[in-house]
Structure 1
Amino acid sequence: MTGQEVADRLAIHDLLARYCHAIDQHRWSDLRALFADDARVDFTAFGGPLGDADTLIAFLKPVVEGLAGSYHSTGSVICDFDGDSATVRSAAHVVMSSRGADGGEQHDHIGLWYEDELTRADTGWRFAKRTQKRAWVSTILS
């Protein structure tokens, strides 16, 4: 593995982490900056949009901001490089908490795979295409 490939892998892990934190902290302009201008998304596996990054953010914003809390994390990252492009597959665990009328919380745990096509930009690696693949869903009431 070359030094450049090590640096690229670290930068891609950083991109994936920034994606998770931007959503959970409701930093929508930071999230948008992680996508190429012409990026495409397919979040239909869980009823989300098929379209561009702005469509994704318009969908996510009211959903996430309406929650009591959320937690996104990624791992098991595999990267394949072709010059200034990369194909990346990662596992993700998402927890979304909502409050019921009785004050109790419901925690939805979602397991999914992200299949990404990335492009190297002047500002670093960016999502050119991001696709969700469903793995599992579990709900816990407390």
Structure 2
Amino acid sequence: MNELQFFSDKHQIEQVYIRYCELVDAKDFDKLDQVFAADKYGYYWGASRTHSEHTRDSLIAGMHASLGPDSLCGATAHNVSNFRVRIDGDRAFTKVNFFAVHRGRGQFDGELCSQWGTYEDELVRTPQGWRVCKRNYTNILNEGPIVTVPA
């Protein structure tokens, strides 16, 4: 792969993460097809350190449940940084740091939950652009109340 192609792909991949943050913060979860491949599955290690696998549809349903208007989570601010990207043809492997702040609602009104961690992903090039097809999500540090939604 030539250098120009690498930097073009890397930029497009970074935009996938930025779009993810925009969609989650806007609570526009139904547009996450702009981020995740249809057959996407992930290994999500949250604050509870539990393992689960997701299709894109189940991931979107989980976002509605845990961050949507009927949840205990109000406004959020998600940020990504420190992009490490390795590209192998139509596959890419990344490690990206995240920082997210969540404002509580209901019984958590007035409280903030902050989380720091990493997304370690595999992405695939599709006709619509790069999409995450595998994710290992790790919370490294949490501050504030952690609310989990029963599966």
Distance in 1 (alpha carbons) for counterparts of 2:74 and 2:40: 29
Q: Percent identity among equivalent residues?
A: 24
Match of 2:25, as an amino acid? D
For each residue in 1:76-106, what CA deviation from the matched residue of structure 2 results, as whole angstroms up to 9, or x when unmatched?
01000111100000000011111355x9511
Q: Does the alignment pair 1:136 with 2:137?
A: no
Shifted more, 57-66 versus 90-99: the winner is 57-66
Shifted more, 29-38 versus 18-27: the winner is 29-38
With normalisation by structure 1, the TM-score equals 0.89
Distance 1:62-1:6 versus aligned 2 partners, 3 A rule: same
Q: Which residue of 1 aligns with 2:116?
A: 111
Q: Does the alignment pair 1:121 with 2:103?
A: no
Gaps (5+ residues) in structure 2? Answer: 146-151
What is the SS of the residue equivalent to 1:105?
coil
Distance in 2 (alpha carbons) for counterparts of 1:138 and 1:111: 9
For each residue in 1:11-62, what CA deviation from the matched residue of structure 2 results, as whole angstroms up to 9, or x when unmatched?
0110000011111111122113321121111223334742212111111112
Structure 1 vs Structure 2 CA RMSD? 1.9
Within 5 Å, give how 1:19-98 maps onto structure 2: 19-47=20-48, 49-65=52-68, 66=71, 67-98=73-104
Asked if the contact 2:29–2:63 (Cα under 8 Å) also holds between the matched residues in 1, the reply is: no
Distance in 1 (alpha carbons) for counterparts of 2:36 and 2:75: 24
With normalisation by structure 2, the TM-score equals 0.84
Gaps (5+ residues) in structure 1? Answer: none
Distance 1:82-1:51 versus aligned 2 partners, 3 A rule: same
Alignment size in residue pairs: 139
Shifted more, 80-89 versus 27-36: the winner is 27-36
